[in-house]
């Protein structure tokens, strides 16, 4: 049964992995230091194994980003995915600022309440920056890192170039446009055949959530993870860097920058692949992550 908090449009999903994720996503009322009341937090948990994996999505995205990767990982590992504060289907409290500090605090509260042991933290695009930031502050919660076409060296969210000043309802309405979102998807994949009606629906379901515009504006105005580039070298965790060799969103130079900056890192190129290997080459991505876990 599809989760009741999803938009009625979720009934139009057609890909089996999309439907399965819509049936698996759940929410918990999570207590955090950020506000007096709990924050209803969307997540997926599947599988079992010795070391849990936690997947973090990119900017203006949700757990649906991992619909193809998650079932492959859960064959061997306990795997979680969570919608970061301000994104996806996690609630956006009205008077809260949405920035990396708040995201990190919310994520730690989620980890402590649900996982509470060292994990493999996997971050894609902006989720990679969130993973690095989290690992630097809470190293005891992280056993190892996996960065998939990660932000961190680029200035601002990759998609923020589609927003324009004055950043407000007009700009975010532009970002909500199906034509704009389709153009972003065409940039994200090396193979345009992946830009299907199902994939576009998965990428847009969360747009109907209350206060979506306010949260996007708040996070983008905060500067996002612009502060992170000079701190990446402090990472001491074993790190796997996966990068599509045809990434047109962040390019390919940052892959080598991460590899040089992080002492205990391994760089693996995903061939004939764009910015989202976990969607375009999920089998190869899962194979690399599971081998790294082992």
Asked if 50 contacts 294 with a C-beta cutoff of 8 angstroms, the reply is no
- Sequence-separated (6 or more) residues with CB below 8 Å from residue 219: 59, 86, 98, 99, 157
In a domain, 2, yes or no: no
pLDDT at 157 over 60: no
Q: What's the order of all strands across the beta sheet hosting 53-56?
A: 26-30, 39-46, 79-82, 53-56, 119-124, 142-148, 239-244, 265-270
169 has a pLDDT exceeding 90: no
Q: Can you give the pLDDT at residue 155?
A: 60
Q: Looking at the domain assignment, is residue 149 inside a domain?
A: yes
CA distance 22 to 118: 27
The stretch 189-197 carries a mean pLDDT of: 98
Whole-number pLDDT of residue 241: 98
What would the two tokens of residue 11 be?
A: 């009934």
The verdict on residue 40 lying in a domain is yes
Query: Across the chain, what does the average pLDDT equal?
Result: 93
The mean per-residue pLDDT over the stretch 24-51 comes to 96
Residue appearing with tokens 């409290």: 93
In a domain, 228, yes or no: yes
The pLDDT assigned to 181 comes to: 92
Question: Is residue 194 predicted with pLDDT exceeding 60?
Answer: yes
pLDDT of the residue at 162: 47
User: What integer is the mean pLDDT of 101-121?
Assistant: 98
pTM: 0.95
pLDDT above 70 coverage of the chain, percent:
95
Nearest to 203 by CA among 65, 2, 19: 65
pLDDT at 156: 54
Flag whether 62 is in a domain.
yes
Contacts of residue 241, defined as CB under 8 A and 6 or more positions apart, other chains included, come to 146, 147, 150, 255, 258, 259, 262, 265, 266, 267, 268
Judge whether residue 54 has pLDDT over 80. yes
CATH number of the domain that residue 203 is part of: 3.40.50.1820
In a domain, 230, yes or no: yes
pLDDT band at 167 (very low <50, low <70, confident <90, very high): low
How many independent structural domains does the chain possess? 1
Q: How confident is the model at residue 51 (pLDDT cuts 50, 70, 90)?
A: very high
| Domain housing 79 | 8-293
Residue 168: pLDDT band with limits 50, 70, 90:
low
């Amino acid at each position: 049964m599809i989760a009741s908090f999803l938009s009625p449009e979720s009934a139009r999903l057609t890909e089996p992995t999309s439907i399965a994720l819509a049936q698996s996503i759940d929410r918990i009322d999570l207590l955090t230091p950020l506000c007096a009341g709990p924050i209803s937090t969307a997540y997926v948990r599947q599988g079992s194994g010795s070391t849990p994996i936690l997947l973090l999505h990119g900017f203006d995205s949700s757990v649906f980003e991992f619909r193809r990767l998650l079932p492959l990982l859960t064959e061997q590992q306990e795997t979680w995915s969570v919608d970061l504060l301000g994104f996806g289907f996690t609630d956006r409290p009205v008077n809260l600022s949405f920035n990396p500090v708040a995201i990190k605090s919310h994520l730690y509260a989620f980890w402590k309440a649900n996982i509470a042991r060292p994990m493999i933290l996997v971050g894609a695009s902006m989720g990679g920056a969130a993973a690095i930031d989290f690992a630097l502050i809470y190293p005891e919660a992280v056993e190892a890192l996996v960065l998939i076409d990660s932000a961190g060296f680029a200035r601002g969210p990759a998609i923020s170039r589609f927003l324009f000043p004055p950043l407000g309802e007009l700009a975010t309405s532009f970002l909500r446009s199906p034509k704009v979102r389709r153009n972003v998807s065409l940039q994200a994949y090396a193979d345009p055949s992946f830009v299907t009606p199902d994939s576009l629906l998965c990428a847009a379901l969360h747009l109907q959530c209350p206060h979506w515009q306010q949260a996007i504006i708040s996070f983008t105005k905060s500067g996002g993870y612009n502060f992170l580039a000079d701190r990446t070298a402090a990472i001491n965790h074993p790190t796997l860097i996966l990068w599509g060799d045809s990434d047109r969103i962040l390019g390919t130079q940052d892959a080598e920058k991460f590899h040089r900056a992080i002492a205990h890192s391994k760089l693996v190129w995903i061939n004939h692949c764009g910015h989202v290997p976990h969607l375009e080459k999920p089998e190869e991505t899962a194979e690399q992550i599971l081998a790294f876990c082992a």
